[in-house]
Every structure is written in structure tokens, then in C-alpha cells.
Amino acid sequence: MGLVFVWRSSPFLVSCLPNPYQPQIDTHSLLNGTRMNAPSLQPSQIAVEMRDIVKRFPGVVANDHVTFLARRGEIHALLGENGAGKSTLMNILSGLYTPEEGKILINGREVIFHSPKDAIEAGVGMVHQHFRLVPTLTVVENVVLGLDDPKFRLNLENAKAQIRALSEQYGLKIDPDAFIWQLSVGEQQRVEIIKALYRGAQILILDEPTAVLTPQETEELFKTLRSMAEKGHTLIFISHKLDEVMAIADRVTVLRQGRVVATVNIEEVTKEKLAEMMVGRPVIFRIDKPTIVPGKEVLRVENLHVRNDKGLPALNGISFIVREHEIVGIAGVSGNGQAELAEALYGLRPIEEGRLYLYGREITHASTRDIIREGVAQIPEDRHKEGSLGNMSLSENLIMKNYRRKPVARGPLIDWHYVRQFARDLVKRFNIMAPSIQTKARLLSGGNLQKLILARELSSDPGLIIAMHPTQGLDVGATEAVRKQLIEERNKGAGILLISEDLDEVMQLSDRILVIYEGEIMGEVPADKADRNEIGLMMAGQRLSANHEQHTVNSVQ
Amino acid sequence: MSRSSFSSYRPPRLSLERRLTTPWWLSWVIPILSVALAMLVGAVIIASQGVNPWEAYRAMFEGAFGSGYGISETLVKAIPLMLAGLGVSVAFRMKLWNIGAEGQLWMGAWAAAGVGLFLYPAWNLPPWLAIFLMMLAAIVAGGLWGAIPGLLKGVLQVNEIITSLMLNYVAISWVLYFVDILWRDPGGLGFPNTAPLDKAIWLPKLTWIPLLPRGHRVHAGLLLAILAAVLLWFLLNRTKWGYEVRVIGENPDAARHAGMPIVRNIVLVMMLSGALAGLAGMAEMAGVAHRLQRGLSPNYGYTAILVAWLAKLNPFGVLLVAVLFGGLLVAGDQIQLTMNLPRSISDILQGLILFFVLGGEVFSRYRIRIR
């Protein structure tokens, strides 16, 4: 039979035996932070105790004897790079995964969760990064969805009253009768929080909750979280953003490569120190970007109107230009027309009104094929869905954009001999870690896959690069590499349109920043004069004041 | 609220875990084991008919592969399966689920018969040219028949599974109208078929193949099929167009971002798929039946779907699997005669093999864990 039976020793057995490879962990030092000699805590103050958790996935140990403790009434940040094991650990705590080894204690009592339902019964709720809401139902319907109490009868009035009480108590403003599709992302997040509270969650896990919020919405969320902590809830806050962790957390546990680096009190660390713990080496926060006077105009967008997939207006008359040696950043909360803009510029979405020019030549209705030939490169939003061919080899992935032209093509044929050489060169030049050029793309890590896409897109020396979320989901090392690569292309003369939801990234890389809201540009600011607060207001739909507007108009003409 | 969920007893659970890579030997072991399991289940069914399964299988094998005659008949049945299987496989490569090979095959046979029965005598064509024109007519007719679901899919996003399947019934009814009425052989004693083709334009027999008995029926369609497999392999793996087809099949979104013409390729691939199935119809008509008749195809076009799938869409794999399934068809006839078993045993075995091979695929992508 072609089956492989992999026996795992029962977690029950293992937890009874002393583990010779793991040093005994001192509960008190973890509880109080490794560097602090505060009086020890009573065990009754511990809300969550996860001890020696081991979870393996094919090829990786996602959690390698992780011990994690959270007190009642604290905001505890779980910090780590992508793949450090934060989400795995919290998916275990919320009952989505079962660990292979280790045990979980909630309020001092050992529990075993087979499903999220078990976790909810024990008072653990989770707000996922991607919301689990039904858009066509109302807030109250979503909140009671899946509950069977009282049996068979639906008592929405009662539920509404409870939702109102919760929203009052924690400052979570929401209309119970609103439909989910009518709500902003920030409001939808509130529904998720209320959903968890309604189910009696005392311990609330939030997976990167700020990723989808404007700076102002983030402030609102933080206020709510603080008031919840004051009322005795335990909040576990998953993040890889250091500034946020410094701003909100009482204590922080840092994970790296599936292991706990340390648990510390927030007053005792600096951002730099946390970054070092997270990455394992000192991190430079600023990238050197020489000042270069922008050159000729590369891309001109005039009064662009585009519809989204539902046929509703997505872009309502956007105008801007991108010049040589220039990175133009588009900041904005996701879903305000960024994806449609990238698609329209790449010939993937019909243009209703307005014009596009590349080097002064009109490309408004040009095909994607022509746009590629004119030297426009694209780093797509979704590396897997739009950017790569999972079951095909690296070399087949690398020729996707130039297979029509010499020297890859010879007449109607593809010169695979040349392709192999071409692929080997790129793998070396862009430092793609892979066993061979025959390796399938789906086996690459996120960082290596992005390098593959960069290699393909930049190998043709593009004049314009449309980069959408170029570092989303990448670890610190890969993020640095990608950003350096983009700045290098800018220094060499390319014009870059950087579309990103990561405001820090936009502010760090861009020469000019445009803020998009509901398909319109709210204003433009030069990056060196950019103010987070001001940009945040524009992301929420407030137009830049008049004198700034003047500046925008001038720079377009 | 149940308390049992908090107890520390946990029953052992089976779980599937994705493999990152598949060991090379597994891709051989799994299909072989799957076929063996299918035959095991088939044995139970045969036993239920009061026949010793071991005897039945031996008779089947001997019937299909045990003699020169058996092998030649197996090859005869394999030829249309090869051509139609290649056609189906090229569509499947682009994730176009062309279920219409049967109809495309009938349309090919019909067009070829038209050329052979009417154009050839009317224009006094040389036989080699007539055969060539019959092939061409079959390719065009099958290709156009395949292009209909292709266009509907490409332009209007109509599900090609349904349209290609429905067009089978249209095609077969259309051809039978000609067989029964318009082109019916007046001297055919009332049998529902056309007059035979002139012997000069039959697909030549491959008399030079050694070991096959005198008077065997293996015809030049076999060479056509092998040639088609080689060409198809070359087209898919060596040309820009083949690369596009493979990329679109793997990830249409990525293909769109690379500026590949998706609609055009949907139509072209469906045409190529239909053309190969049409050629299968021509080969069967001009190589075996030598006329258009009811029952020309014992569902070759549907069996071709199994052939393509079991061959994992590899053109040379299609040739091999087609021989296996050709053998199964011959064996079905054999055991009906000698063992008094219903012929449909071979249909059942076909189904079982597909079922187990598809089911077995899971184990090449996943491993089982018991915790």
C-alpha cells in the first residue's frame, strides 16, 4: 500500500515524562518578565497557561516546546515574524489545532480542545485577521449565528438588547440592525469582538487586528482593548508591528522559529531591543535612499474612471504622474480602489473614462501584452494567485513575461537550453534559495517566491514598476531585501508606483505619497514632509487643506 | 454544554497530511495497487455471478493479450481510444472539461464518410488524396463541433461540461439521420448503414507487423495515433503556444497577468481536442467499419475520458492506457462467449479502475497519520 503511517507518541504519555532536552522553566520568571525581580504572583492571577506546547507541520516544527502565560486583566502581545509560530500557538489556544505535546490550563484547570466550540465554552474567543462574518446578514444575526440557545427558537430582541449593553460597556459603537456589507472594516471588527464577548469570552485573541485599520481606527480599537482589560479580560494581541506593541501591550512574549525568546514587561524594553529579539540580530529601521531629482515623466494618469467586479465605480477620476527616479506611494485602507488601479494600469480592467500615457504615448486601451512589451513590470497583490505557477518549475515561472520574445523564443518554439541558463543566472543574481531550477514554485517560502517574482519582473529592466503590497507577509529579512531592490531600481532610473496598506512602508520608501479613499485621491504630500496623523485623516476620507491642494495641482501639471 | 470535551481521554484520530514532495516510486506503486484493488472488488462481483474470478481474469487476459489475434483486436479497439484520448487530454490540460469527444468523433466519422461516399466517386479523386481529404474533413468537422462549447465558454462563460455533453446527443442524432435515411444503402437489406466505402480508400492494413495473424484488422490509424501523440507532446512542451496552454491550465489568473490570450486559447484548444476526436471517428469508419453505421462507436468518446485521466494527460501515457482499455473491451467480448458472463463486466471493471486510481491519487499528495 502506498500509505505511510506516522506514529506519534501520545501527548498524554509524553507530558508525564520529564523531558531531558528542555530546561525546566521557572513559571515565576515568565510571569513577571525575565529581567524583573518583582514579587511573585498568585497562581489565581493566571488566566492562560500553555505549557511545553509542540505542534509539527510537514517539514517544520511550528511550536517547539512553547510555554506561554497570560495574566488576568492584561494586554499581552505575541510578537514574532511570519512563521515564528504565533498564529499556530493561538490557533491551538482557540481550539483550531490540537497540539502533539503539552498542556493547556485555563484559570488553573487543564483543558483539551477538540474544536473552537470547546474553546468558546472555556471562555476563549478569537478575532481572526480575515473576519468570519456573513455580509448579507445583520449584525445581530451574525452574532447569534451558530448558537443554539435557547434551543430552536430565535430571540433576536433579547440578543439585540445584550449587544447594546456590550457596546455600551466597552465603547464598541454598533447598530445591531445594520447589515455587515454596510459596515466599514473597523466596524466589522467591532462585530467580531462583540461576537466573542456575547459568547462569554474572558480571554480574547486578536490576530493582527490593526492590519486593516486607519491610524485613527487603531486608536479607537486600543481604547476598547484597554477598557476590556480594566474589566478583567485577558487580551492576547498578535502582531509583528513593534510600534503598536510598544503602544498597547503590558507584557510581550517574543517567538522566533517556533520557540519562545523571552517574555518581558513592556517598560523594560525598547523597540530596537524587541526587534533584535524577534529577528535574532540587530535591525536597521531606515534604508538609505539617496536624494535624486526625478527625471522624465514615465506614467501619466488623467481622470481615470474604473468600475469594480460588481460594476460599481471603483475609481472616480484619479490623476497623477510617476517620473523616472521616483517612487510614488499610494496609501489607503484596503478596498478603496487600489486593486482596481493596479489592474487598470496593467490592462486587466476596462477603462470607463480618462487616459493613460506611458512615456507620452497613450496606452489607455492597450492590452496587457503590449503594456508588458513597453517595459511595465508588475509585482502583483497575490503572489500565489496572480504571480506564480505553483506546480511548474522555477524556470517555467521565470519566463512568463518574456517567453514571446527572443532569445527565449526562437520562432514558434521555446529555447529551453537558453531558458535553463537564464533561470540559473536569475536564481544566482536574486539569491533565490531553491534546490534547483526544476523545483516547483509552490515549494518556495514566501520570501523566496517574492524574490522569484522580482527576478522575473526586474530582469527586463522595466521603466515602470507597479508594486502592490510588495512585502506583505514577508519576514524582516526578506522585507529588507525587497525594499532595497525597489530603491535600487529607482536609483537606476525606473519609476515606481508603490501601492501598500502598510503606512510605514509607504512613508519609508516613497518620494511622494498620494492617499486614496473611495476611489479618489484625497491629497498628495512629499514623503519628507509627511505627517502620519494627516495621512491618517486622509485615509479616513478627509481632504487635504486648500494650500496643499494647490501643491497637488501644480505637481500634476 | 458537554463536559466530556474537557476530559483528558482522546480517541485516536486519522488525519491526512499534505506531502511536500512525492517520492518517485510512489507515483508507480499507487496506480498499480489501485488497479489491483479494483480487480479485487471486481472479483467479488464476478464471484457473485457464480464464476471463479481467477478463471475469469485469466480468460480475459488470454482473450486480450494471450494470442496474436487477441493482441490485434486489442490494438484495433485501442486506436480510436488513443486518438480521442489524446483529444480529451489536451483539453484537460487547460482544465477544459471536454466531455464531448463522443459527439466530435461521430461528426468526424460523418464528414469523412461524406467525402468517401460521394466526393471521391463524383470527382474521381486518386485514392491517396481521397483518404487525405477524409482525414481533413474529419479534423474540420470534429474541430468545429469542439469549437462550439469552446466559444460558448470563452465568450459567454457557459459551462463547457454541459454544452459539450449535450452536443453529443445532437451529433449522434444528426449522424443517425443520415445513416437511417439520407445516406442509407438501398441495397443494404434494410440494415441501418450506408453503402460500404470503395476498398481503395480504406485505411490500409498494417500487414507488415510481425507476429500478428494473417487477416488481422490493425490499420494505419495506429500510426496516425502514434504520430499525433508525438506531435502533441512536442506542441505542449516545445512551443510557445504549448507553454501558454500549460500556464493557463495551471493558473489562469497568472496567465492573464502575463498577457496571455485566454479566450482565443480556449477556442483553439477545444478545436484541437475535437479535431483529434474527429480523427478517431474517421479512423474507425475508414479503418474498421468501412461505412457509417449505427453502433460505430461503443462509447469510445466517453472511455477516452477515463483513458486521458488515467494517463495523467501524458500523450504517451494515453497510448499505453488506451491499449489496456482496448484489451478490456476485447476481454469483455471474450468472457461473454466463453464464461457466460455479461459483457458489462468490462464496463464495471473500467469504472472500478477509474474509481480506485482517482481515489489512490490522494495518497500521492497526502500521507495518513494516526494520532
CA A323/CA A273 separation, integer angstroms: 38
Supply B17's cell numbers: 497530511
DSSP assignment string, A116-140: HHHHHHTTEEEE-SS----TTSBHH
Q: Which chain B residues touch A414 with a CB distance below 8 Å?
A: 238-240, 243
Which residue type, as a one-letter code, is found at position A556? V
Q: Are residues A550 and A406 in the same domain?
A: no
Q: Is A273 exposed, middle or buried (0-12, 13-18, 19+ CB in 10 A)?
A: middle
Which of helix, strand or coil describes residue A344?
helix
Supply A275's cell numbers: 526587534
Q: What is the CATH number of the domain that holds B346?
A: 1.10.3470
Q: Does residue B69 form part of some domain?
A: yes
Residue B365: Cβ within 10 Å count: 11
CA A326/CA A551 separation, integer angstroms: 17
Supply B40's cell numbers: 479485487
Over range A477-498, report the average pLDDT: 91
Question: Residue B88: which H helix or E strand, with range?
Answer: helix B68-93
Do residue B259 and residue A367 have CB atoms under 8 angstroms apart? yes
Helices B127-156 and B101-114: crossing angle, nearest 10°?
140
Report the pLDDT value the prediction gives residue B360, as an integer from 0 to 100.
85
Chain segment A67-103, per-residue pLDDT in tens: 999 999 999 999 887 778 888 899 899 988 888 899 9
Q: Considering its fold, how many domains does chain A have in total?
A: 3
State how far the alpha carbon of A78 is from the alpha carbons of A319, A510, B369, in Å. 41, 30, 30
CA A84/CA A256 separation, integer angstroms: 5
The larger pLDDT score, comparing residue A404 to residue A184, is at: A404
Report the pLDDT value the prediction gives residue B12, as an integer from 0 to 100.
62
Cα-based torsion angle of the residue sequence B178, B183, B188, B191 in order, rounded to the nearest 10 degrees? 0
Q: Are residues A465 and A412 in the same domain?
A: no
Report the pLDDT value the prediction gives residue A23, as an integer from 0 to 100.
39
Mean pLDDT for chain A overall: 84
Asked, as a colleague might, if the bond just before A407 is cis with ω within 30 of 0, I would say yes
Q: Which chain B residues touch A7 with a CB distance below 8 Å?
A: 370
Report the pLDDT value the prediction gives residue B354, as an integer from 0 to 100.
86
Q: Does residue A113 form part of some domain?
A: yes
> Is the separation of the CB atoms in B99 and B305 below 8 Å?
yes
Confidence of residue B25 (pLDDT cuts 50, 70, 90): confident
Chain segment A213-222, per-residue pLDDT in tens: 878 888 889 9
Strand partners, A57: A60
Report the pLDDT value the prediction gives residue B191, as an integer from 0 to 100.
81
Which of A198-202, A207-211, B233-237 reaches the highest mean pLDDT?
Answer: B233-237
Q: Does residue A345 form part of some domain?
A: yes
Q: Which chain A residues touch B30 with a CB distance below 8 Å?
A: 2
Share of chain A above pLDDT 70, in %: 88
Q: Does residue B5 form part of some domain?
A: no
State how far the alpha carbon of A349 is from the alpha carbons of A80, A298, A346, in Å. 37, 20, 8
Residue A123, phi-psi category: left (phi > 0), alpha (psi -120 to 50), beta (remainder): left
Residue B199: Cβ within 10 Å count: 8
Report the pLDDT value the prediction gives residue B108, as an integer from 0 to 100.
97
Chain segment A233-273, per-residue pLDDT in tens: 999 999 877 888 899 999 999 998 889 999 999 999 988 88
**Alpha-helix runs per DSSP H in A178-241:** 185-198, 215-230
Which string of b and e fits A22-47 if b means at least 16 CB within 10 Å?
eeeeebeebbbbeeeeeeeeeeeebb
Do residue B370 and residue A346 have CB atoms under 8 angstroms apart? no
Smallest CA-to-CA distance from A380 within B258, B244, B243, B251 is with: B258
Q: Does residue A150 form part of some domain?
A: no
Q: Are residues A240 and A102 in the same domain?
A: yes
Residue of A nearest to B237 (CA): A414
Q: Are residues A358 and A305 in the same domain?
A: yes
Confidence of residue B14 (pLDDT cuts 50, 70, 90): low
Residue of A nearest to B37 (CA): A1
Supply A193's cell numbers: 469582538
Q: Does residue A187 form part of some domain?
A: no
Strand partners, A521: A516
Q: Does residue B27 form part of some domain?
A: no
Chain segment A376-420, per-residue pLDDT in tens: 999 998 888 899 999 999 999 999 999 999 899 999 999 999 999
Decide the pairing of beta strands A512-517 and A326-331.
Answer: parallel
Q: For chain B, what's the residue count? A: 371
Q: Are residues A118 and A221 in the same domain?
A: yes
Report the pLDDT value the prediction gives residue A34, as an integer from 0 to 100.
41
Chain segment A128-170, per-residue pLDDT in tens: 878 889 999 999 999 988 777 666 677 788 889 989 998 888 8
Domain containing A231: what range? Answer: 11-123+202-279
Going by the DSSP 8-state scheme, the letter that residue B201 receives in this structure is G
Q: Could you say which of A59, A113, A369 has the minimum Cβ distance to residue B259? A: A369
Do residue B247 and residue A409 have CB atoms under 8 angstroms apart? no
Decide the pairing of beta strands A124-127 and A203-207.
Answer: parallel
pLDDT for A528 beyond 90: no
* Residue A150, C-beta contacts closer than 8 angstroms, at least 6 positions apart: none
Q: Is A412 exposed, middle or buried (0-12, 13-18, 19+ CB in 10 A)?
A: exposed
Q: Are residues A206 and A96 in the same domain?
A: yes
Residue A399: Cβ within 10 Å count: 26
> Is the separation of the CB atoms in A64 and A258 below 8 Å?
yes
pLDDT for A55 beyond 60: yes
Do residue A112 and residue B360 have CB atoms under 8 angstroms apart? no
Q: Are residues A368 and A427 in the same domain?
A: no
Over range A293-315, report the average pLDDT: 92
Over range B309-314, report the average pLDDT: 90
Over range A533-542, report the average pLDDT: 87
Q: Are residues A419 and A322 in the same domain?
A: no
Supply B194's cell numbers: 450506408
Supply B297's cell numbers: 462507436
Supply A147's cell numbers: 448558537
CA A82/CA A474 separation, integer angstroms: 7
Report the pLDDT value the prediction gives residue A45, as an integer from 0 to 100.
83
Q: Are residues A502 and A359 in the same domain?
A: yes
State how far the alpha carbon of B180 is from the alpha carbons of A125, A345, B184, B190, B292, in Å. 72, 59, 5, 9, 10
Report the pLDDT value the prediction gives residue A5, as an integer from 0 to 100.
41
Q: Does residue A544 form part of some domain?
A: yes
- Backbone dihedral angles phi then psi of residue B156, each to the nearest 5 degrees: -115, 5
DSSP assignment string, A140-187: HHHHHTT--SSSS---HHHHHHHHHHHHHHHT----TTSBGGGS-HHH
Q: Which chain B residues touch A98 with a CB distance below 8 Å?
A: 10, 371
Q: Does residue B20 form part of some domain?
A: no
CA B39/CA B34 separation, integer angstroms: 9
Domain containing B110: what range? Answer: 34-46+63-370
DSSP assignment string, B332-357: HHHHHHHT---THHHHHHHHHHHHHH
Q: Which chain B residues touch A443 with a CB distance below 8 Å?
A: 20-21
Residue of B nearest to A369 (CA): B259
Q: Are residues A101 and A214 in the same domain?
A: yes
State how far the alpha carbon of A466 is from the alpha carbons of A352, A375, A486, in Å. 21, 11, 11
> Is the separation of the CB atoms in A450 and A468 below 8 Å?
no
- Backbone dihedral angles phi then psi of residue A523, each to the nearest 5 degrees: 165, 170
Asked, as a colleague might, if the bond just before A150 is cis with ω within 30 of 0, I would say yes
Do residue A412 and residue B241 have CB atoms under 8 angstroms apart? yes
Q: What is the CATH number of the domain that holds A347?
A: 3.40.50.300
Q: Which chain A residues touch B369 with a CB distance below 8 Å?
A: 5-6, 8
pTM of the entire predicted model: 0.77
* Residue A469, C-beta contacts closer than 8 angstroms, at least 6 positions apart: A381, A499, A500, A501, A502
Residue B143, phi-psi category: left (phi > 0), alpha (psi -120 to 50), beta (remainder): alpha
> Is the separation of the CB atoms in A444 and A427 below 8 Å?
no
Q: Does residue A314 form part of some domain?
A: yes
Do residue A112 and residue B364 have CB atoms under 8 angstroms apart? no
Q: Are residues A371 and A307 in the same domain?
A: yes
Supply A433's cell numbers: 534559495
Residue A332, phi-psi category: left (phi > 0), alpha (psi -120 to 50), beta (remainder): left
Chain segment B154-205, per-residue pLDDT in tens: 999 999 999 999 999 999 999 999 999 899 888 877 788 899 999 999 999 9
Shortest Cα distance, chain A CAs vs residue B198, angstroms = 40
Q: Which chain B residues touch A346 with a CB distance below 8 Å?
A: 257
Q: Considering its fold, how many domains does chain B have in total?
A: 1
Q: Which chain A residues touch B249 with a CB distance below 8 Å?
A: none
Confidence of residue B78 (pLDDT cuts 50, 70, 90): very high
Q: Are residues A393 and A371 in the same domain?
A: no
> Chain B residues within 8 A (CB-CB) of chain A?
1, 5-8, 10, 17-21, 26, 29-30, 33, 238-241, 243, 246-247, 250-251, 253-254, 256-261, 360, 363-364, 367-371
Do residue A403 and residue B239 have CB atoms under 8 angstroms apart? no
CA A330/CA A539 separation, integer angstroms: 10
